[in-house]
Amino acid sequence: MTPESLTNITQMAQSADTPPQEKLRASYTERLATLQHPIIEATKEYQTALAEEAFEDQTGEEAGAGEKRRKVMQNKITTLLDRAEKLKTQLDSGEPLPTFTPDLTTTYHHPDGHSETIHIDLEQKLQDFTTFYQQNHLDLPANFEDIIHDLWERNQTEIQTAIEQHGFDDLLLIPAGLSLPDIADKLQMENGYLEGSNFTTGGSFAGATDPQPDQSRLVLVHHSQNLEDRPELVATKNVKGQDLNLDHLLTLSDHLIFQKKYFTETNQHLDVKGWTWLATRSGARLVYYDLSISPPNLGARPSRSFF
Protein backbone atom coordinates (compact mmCIF):
# COMPACT_ATOMS: atom_id res chain seq x y z
CA MET A 1 0.00 0.00 0.00
CA THR A 2 1.33 3.43 -0.94
CA PRO A 3 0.89 6.60 1.17
CA GLU A 4 -1.51 7.93 -1.44
CA SER A 5 -3.87 4.98 -1.01
CA LEU A 6 -4.54 6.04 2.56
CA THR A 7 -6.52 9.01 1.29
CA ASN A 8 -9.22 6.65 0.06
CA ILE A 9 -10.05 5.11 3.42
CA THR A 10 -13.15 7.23 3.93
CA GLN A 11 -14.71 5.78 0.77
CA MET A 12 -15.32 2.34 2.29
CA ALA A 13 -18.88 1.03 2.16
CA GLN A 14 -20.84 1.19 5.39
CA SER A 15 -21.61 -2.18 6.97
CA ALA A 16 -24.45 -3.21 9.27
CA ASP A 17 -22.30 -2.99 12.39
CA THR A 18 -23.65 -3.00 15.88
CA PRO A 19 -23.08 0.32 17.69
CA PRO A 20 -19.93 -0.95 19.53
CA GLN A 21 -18.52 -2.12 16.20
CA GLU A 22 -19.29 1.25 14.65
CA LYS A 23 -17.23 2.92 17.36
CA LEU A 24 -14.42 0.42 16.83
CA ARG A 25 -14.53 0.97 13.07
CA ALA A 26 -14.32 4.74 13.58
CA SER A 27 -11.38 4.26 15.95
CA TYR A 28 -9.55 1.94 13.54
CA THR A 29 -10.21 4.35 10.66
CA GLU A 30 -8.81 7.24 12.68
CA ARG A 31 -5.71 5.22 13.57
CA LEU A 32 -5.17 4.43 9.90
CA ALA A 33 -5.62 8.07 8.87
CA THR A 34 -3.06 9.25 11.43
CA LEU A 35 -0.42 7.06 9.79
CA GLN A 36 -0.59 8.97 6.50
CA HIS A 37 1.48 11.98 7.57
CA PRO A 38 4.36 10.04 9.22
CA ILE A 39 4.56 7.71 6.18
CA ILE A 40 4.81 10.67 3.81
CA GLU A 41 7.38 12.42 6.01
CA ALA A 42 9.48 9.26 6.46
CA THR A 43 9.43 8.70 2.68
CA LYS A 44 10.52 12.30 2.02
CA GLU A 45 13.30 11.94 4.61
CA TYR A 46 14.54 8.80 2.86
CA GLN A 47 14.42 10.42 -0.59
CA THR A 48 16.32 13.48 0.67
CA ALA A 49 18.98 11.30 2.28
CA LEU A 50 19.31 9.31 -0.94
CA ALA A 51 19.69 12.49 -3.02
CA GLU A 52 22.30 13.87 -0.62
CA GLU A 53 24.22 10.56 -0.63
CA ALA A 54 23.77 10.25 3.12
CA PHE A 55 23.83 6.47 2.78
CA GLU A 56 27.46 6.58 1.73
CA ASP A 57 30.09 6.27 4.44
CA GLN A 58 31.33 9.73 5.38
CA THR A 59 34.93 10.70 6.08
CA GLY A 60 36.01 9.44 9.48
CA GLU A 61 33.12 6.99 9.85
CA GLU A 62 33.51 3.27 10.30
CA ALA A 63 32.76 1.09 7.29
CA GLY A 64 29.05 0.40 6.90
CA ALA A 65 27.83 3.48 8.81
CA GLY A 66 25.94 4.76 5.77
CA GLU A 67 24.26 1.40 5.24
CA LYS A 68 23.14 1.40 8.88
CA ARG A 69 21.49 4.79 8.33
CA ARG A 70 19.73 3.44 5.25
CA LYS A 71 18.41 0.40 7.12
CA VAL A 72 17.10 2.51 10.00
CA MET A 73 15.16 4.80 7.64
CA GLN A 74 13.96 1.89 5.53
CA ASN A 75 12.80 -0.07 8.57
CA LYS A 76 10.88 2.95 9.81
CA ILE A 77 8.97 3.22 6.51
CA THR A 78 8.37 -0.54 6.35
CA THR A 79 7.03 -0.64 9.91
CA LEU A 80 4.60 2.21 9.26
CA LEU A 81 3.40 0.71 5.96
CA ASP A 82 2.97 -2.74 7.53
CA ARG A 83 0.89 -1.23 10.32
CA ALA A 84 -1.27 0.68 7.83
CA GLU A 85 -1.69 -2.40 5.63
CA LYS A 86 -2.81 -4.49 8.61
CA LEU A 87 -5.37 -1.90 9.70
CA LYS A 88 -6.73 -1.50 6.17
CA THR A 89 -7.03 -5.27 5.76
CA GLN A 90 -9.00 -5.51 8.99
CA LEU A 91 -11.32 -2.69 7.94
CA ASP A 92 -11.86 -4.05 4.43
CA SER A 93 -12.51 -7.62 5.56
CA GLY A 94 -15.98 -6.85 6.90
CA GLU A 95 -15.26 -9.17 9.85
CA PRO A 96 -16.03 -7.99 13.40
CA LEU A 97 -13.12 -5.91 14.68
CA PRO A 98 -11.35 -7.04 17.87
CA THR A 99 -12.18 -4.93 20.90
CA PHE A 100 -9.30 -2.55 21.33
CA THR A 101 -9.09 0.94 22.82
CA PRO A 102 -5.76 2.45 21.72
CA ASP A 103 -5.64 5.22 24.29
CA LEU A 104 -6.47 5.75 27.93
CA THR A 105 -7.45 8.90 29.80
CA THR A 106 -8.02 8.89 33.54
CA THR A 107 -7.60 11.07 36.63
CA TYR A 108 -5.04 10.85 39.41
CA HIS A 109 -5.70 12.60 42.72
CA HIS A 110 -2.46 13.82 44.27
CA PRO A 111 -1.85 13.55 48.01
CA ASP A 112 -2.19 17.34 48.34
CA GLY A 113 -5.70 17.19 46.90
CA HIS A 114 -5.23 18.50 43.36
CA SER A 115 -6.18 16.35 40.37
CA GLU A 116 -4.20 15.50 37.25
CA THR A 117 -5.59 14.16 33.98
CA ILE A 118 -3.25 11.50 32.58
CA HIS A 119 -3.46 10.40 28.95
CA ILE A 120 -1.55 7.55 27.32
CA ASP A 121 -1.75 7.02 23.56
CA LEU A 122 -0.58 3.47 22.86
CA GLU A 123 -0.30 3.91 19.09
CA GLN A 124 1.94 6.94 19.50
CA LYS A 125 4.05 5.06 22.05
CA LEU A 126 4.34 2.10 19.71
CA GLN A 127 5.48 4.32 16.86
CA ASP A 128 7.97 6.19 19.07
CA PHE A 129 9.50 3.09 20.64
CA THR A 130 9.73 1.18 17.36
CA THR A 131 11.70 4.08 15.87
CA PHE A 132 13.79 4.40 19.06
CA TYR A 133 14.85 0.74 19.02
CA GLN A 134 15.58 0.79 15.30
CA GLN A 135 17.69 3.93 15.58
CA ASN A 136 19.71 2.32 18.38
CA HIS A 137 20.07 -1.00 16.51
CA LEU A 138 18.21 -3.10 19.07
CA ASP A 139 16.29 -5.94 17.46
CA LEU A 140 12.53 -6.26 17.94
CA PRO A 141 10.43 -9.43 17.73
CA ALA A 142 8.83 -9.76 14.30
CA ASN A 143 5.35 -9.51 15.84
CA PHE A 144 6.21 -6.78 18.36
CA GLU A 145 3.16 -4.68 17.47
CA ASP A 146 0.79 -7.62 17.94
CA ILE A 147 2.42 -8.48 21.28
CA ILE A 148 2.05 -4.92 22.55
CA HIS A 149 -1.59 -4.74 21.43
CA ASP A 150 -2.31 -8.05 23.21
CA LEU A 151 -0.62 -6.88 26.43
CA TRP A 152 -2.56 -3.60 26.34
CA GLU A 153 -5.89 -5.28 25.66
CA ARG A 154 -5.47 -7.90 28.40
CA ASN A 155 -4.15 -5.50 31.04
CA GLN A 156 -5.89 -2.20 30.31
CA THR A 157 -8.14 -2.29 33.38
CA GLU A 158 -5.17 -3.00 35.69
CA ILE A 159 -3.11 -0.32 33.93
CA GLN A 160 -5.82 2.26 34.52
CA THR A 161 -6.13 1.23 38.16
CA ALA A 162 -2.36 1.55 38.71
CA ILE A 163 -2.37 5.04 37.16
CA GLU A 164 -5.29 6.15 39.33
CA GLN A 165 -3.68 4.80 42.50
CA HIS A 166 -0.04 5.81 41.96
CA GLY A 167 0.02 8.60 39.37
CA PHE A 168 2.10 6.84 36.72
CA ASP A 169 2.13 9.12 33.69
CA ASP A 170 4.37 7.36 31.19
CA LEU A 171 4.65 3.93 29.59
CA LEU A 172 7.73 2.00 28.49
CA LEU A 173 7.45 -0.69 25.79
CA ILE A 174 10.10 -3.33 26.48
CA PRO A 175 10.68 -6.14 23.95
CA ALA A 176 11.77 -9.66 24.80
CA GLY A 177 15.16 -10.95 23.70
CA LEU A 178 17.34 -8.01 24.73
CA SER A 179 20.42 -8.85 26.77
CA LEU A 180 21.57 -6.43 29.46
CA PRO A 181 25.12 -6.14 28.01
CA ASP A 182 23.69 -5.33 24.57
CA ILE A 183 21.33 -2.72 26.01
CA ALA A 184 24.18 -1.15 27.98
CA ASP A 185 26.43 -1.07 24.91
CA LYS A 186 23.95 0.34 22.40
CA LEU A 187 22.23 2.81 24.74
CA GLN A 188 25.42 4.11 26.32
CA MET A 189 25.37 7.85 27.03
CA GLU A 190 28.15 10.18 25.93
CA ASN A 191 30.24 9.74 29.10
CA GLY A 192 29.86 5.98 29.32
CA TYR A 193 29.46 4.17 32.67
CA LEU A 194 31.38 4.54 35.90
CA GLU A 195 30.97 1.10 37.45
CA GLY A 196 31.45 0.60 41.18
CA SER A 197 33.78 -2.09 42.50
CA ASN A 198 30.91 -4.24 43.79
CA PHE A 199 29.27 -4.12 40.35
CA THR A 200 32.44 -5.10 38.48
CA THR A 201 33.18 -7.83 41.02
CA GLY A 202 29.72 -9.23 40.31
CA GLY A 203 30.54 -9.48 36.60
CA SER A 204 29.46 -6.02 35.42
CA PHE A 205 26.49 -5.94 33.03
CA ALA A 206 27.05 -9.56 31.98
CA GLY A 207 26.82 -10.74 35.58
CA ALA A 208 23.85 -8.61 36.67
CA THR A 209 20.47 -10.34 36.82
CA ASP A 210 17.04 -8.75 36.42
CA PRO A 211 14.14 -10.32 38.33
CA GLN A 212 11.73 -9.94 35.41
CA PRO A 213 11.33 -12.84 32.94
CA ASP A 214 12.59 -12.36 29.40
CA GLN A 215 9.19 -11.44 28.00
CA SER A 216 7.90 -8.37 26.20
CA ARG A 217 6.18 -6.11 28.70
CA LEU A 218 4.54 -2.76 29.36
CA VAL A 219 6.08 -0.77 32.21
CA LEU A 220 4.33 2.16 33.89
CA VAL A 221 6.68 4.86 35.25
CA HIS A 222 6.70 8.48 36.41
CA HIS A 223 8.01 10.85 33.72
CA SER A 224 10.00 12.96 36.21
CA GLN A 225 13.68 13.82 35.80
CA ASN A 226 14.63 13.39 39.46
CA LEU A 227 13.12 11.71 42.50
CA GLU A 228 12.76 15.09 44.17
CA ASP A 229 10.46 16.32 41.37
CA ARG A 230 7.46 14.25 42.44
CA PRO A 231 6.13 13.60 45.98
CA GLU A 232 5.48 9.90 45.25
CA LEU A 233 9.19 9.51 44.47
CA VAL A 234 10.38 11.71 47.33
CA ALA A 235 8.53 9.34 49.67
CA THR A 236 10.96 6.56 48.70
CA LYS A 237 14.03 8.44 49.95
CA ASN A 238 16.20 6.70 52.56
CA VAL A 239 14.50 3.35 52.01
CA LYS A 240 16.65 0.28 52.67
CA GLY A 241 17.19 -2.32 49.97
CA GLN A 242 15.66 -5.13 52.01
CA ASP A 243 12.44 -3.11 52.38
CA LEU A 244 11.85 -2.73 48.65
CA ASN A 245 9.23 -4.64 46.66
CA LEU A 246 11.35 -5.65 43.68
CA ASP A 247 8.27 -6.59 41.64
CA HIS A 248 7.23 -2.92 41.74
CA LEU A 249 10.61 -1.39 40.93
CA LEU A 250 12.47 -0.48 37.74
CA THR A 251 15.13 -2.97 36.69
CA LEU A 252 18.54 -1.94 35.36
CA SER A 253 17.39 -2.84 31.82
CA ASP A 254 14.25 -0.72 32.24
CA HIS A 255 16.26 2.18 33.59
CA LEU A 256 18.83 2.12 30.78
CA ILE A 257 16.03 2.20 28.19
CA PHE A 258 14.10 4.86 30.13
CA GLN A 259 17.11 7.17 30.57
CA LYS A 260 18.07 7.01 26.88
CA LYS A 261 14.47 7.55 25.76
CA TYR A 262 14.09 10.43 28.24
CA PHE A 263 17.28 12.05 26.93
CA THR A 264 16.09 11.60 23.32
CA GLU A 265 12.86 13.42 24.16
CA THR A 266 14.12 16.15 26.50
CA ASN A 267 17.90 16.46 25.97
CA GLN A 268 18.14 16.10 29.76
CA HIS A 269 19.65 13.26 31.79
CA LEU A 270 17.47 11.15 34.07
CA ASP A 271 18.23 10.96 37.80
CA VAL A 272 21.01 13.55 37.98
CA LYS A 273 20.26 14.14 41.66
CA GLY A 274 20.36 11.45 44.31
CA TRP A 275 20.91 7.70 44.05
CA THR A 276 18.28 5.25 42.84
CA TRP A 277 17.73 1.64 43.86
CA LEU A 278 17.03 -0.79 40.98
CA ALA A 279 15.49 -4.26 41.08
CA THR A 280 18.61 -5.90 39.64
CA ARG A 281 21.22 -7.93 41.51
CA SER A 282 24.95 -7.98 41.03
CA GLY A 283 26.05 -11.01 42.96
CA ALA A 284 24.12 -10.86 46.23
CA ARG A 285 23.72 -7.09 46.14
CA LEU A 286 21.03 -4.86 44.70
CA VAL A 287 22.19 -2.41 42.05
CA TYR A 288 21.70 1.34 42.41
CA TYR A 289 22.09 4.06 39.80
CA ASP A 290 24.03 7.25 40.50
CA LEU A 291 24.74 10.21 38.22
CA SER A 292 25.28 12.70 41.04
CA ILE A 293 28.17 13.52 43.32
CA SER A 294 25.85 14.16 46.26
CA PRO A 295 26.07 11.98 49.39
CA PRO A 296 24.07 8.74 49.19
CA ASN A 297 20.39 9.52 49.58
CA LEU A 298 18.92 6.38 48.11
CA GLY A 299 15.40 6.34 46.80
CA ALA A 300 13.59 4.29 44.18
CA ARG A 301 11.46 4.57 41.07
CA PRO A 302 8.25 2.60 41.60
CA SER A 303 6.85 0.96 38.47
CA ARG A 304 4.31 -1.63 37.37
CA SER A 305 5.06 -4.25 34.73
CA PHE A 306 2.48 -6.09 32.65
CA PHE A 307 3.28 -9.32 30.78
Q: What is the pLDDT of residue 295?
A: 46
Residues of the chain with pLDDT under 50: 9-17, 292-295
Structural domain including 21 reads 1-99
Say if residue 215 is in the same domain as residue 285. Answer: yes
Q: State the Cα angle at 36 between 33 and 39, rounded to 5°.
A: 150
Verify that 137 and 254 share a domain, yes or no. Answer: yes
Together in a domain, 7 and 117? no
Q: What is the pLDDT of residue 276?
A: 87
- Specify whether 14 is located in the same domain as 61: yes
Pairing state between β 298-300 and 275-282? parallel
* 162-165 CB contacts, 8 Å cutoff, 24+ apart: 162/220, 162/304, 163/104, 163/106, 163/108, 163/118, 163/120, 163/220, 164/106, 164/107, 164/108, 164/109
Nearest to 100 by CA among 162, 26, 167, 43: 26
Task: Write out pLDDT tens, residues 284-301.
Answer: 677 767 654 444 568 899
269 neighbors 189 (Cβ within 8 angstroms): yes
CB 303 within 8 A of CB 279: no
> What total number of domains does the chain contain?
2
Per the CB < 8 A criterion, the answer to whether 248 and 303 are in contact is: yes
Q: In this predicted structure, what is the pLDDT of residue 47? A: 93
pLDDT at 128: 94
Entry pTM: 0.75
The domain boundary residue, chosen from 70, 99, 128: 99
**87 and 109 both lie in a single domain:** no
Q: Does residue 282 share a domain with residue 181? A: yes
Candidates 266, 154, 252, 263; CA nearest to 206 is 252
Measure the CA–CA gap between 58 and 173, rounded to whole angstroms: 33
Same domain, 146 and 209: yes
Of 296, 246, 253, 256, the C-alpha closest to 273 is 296
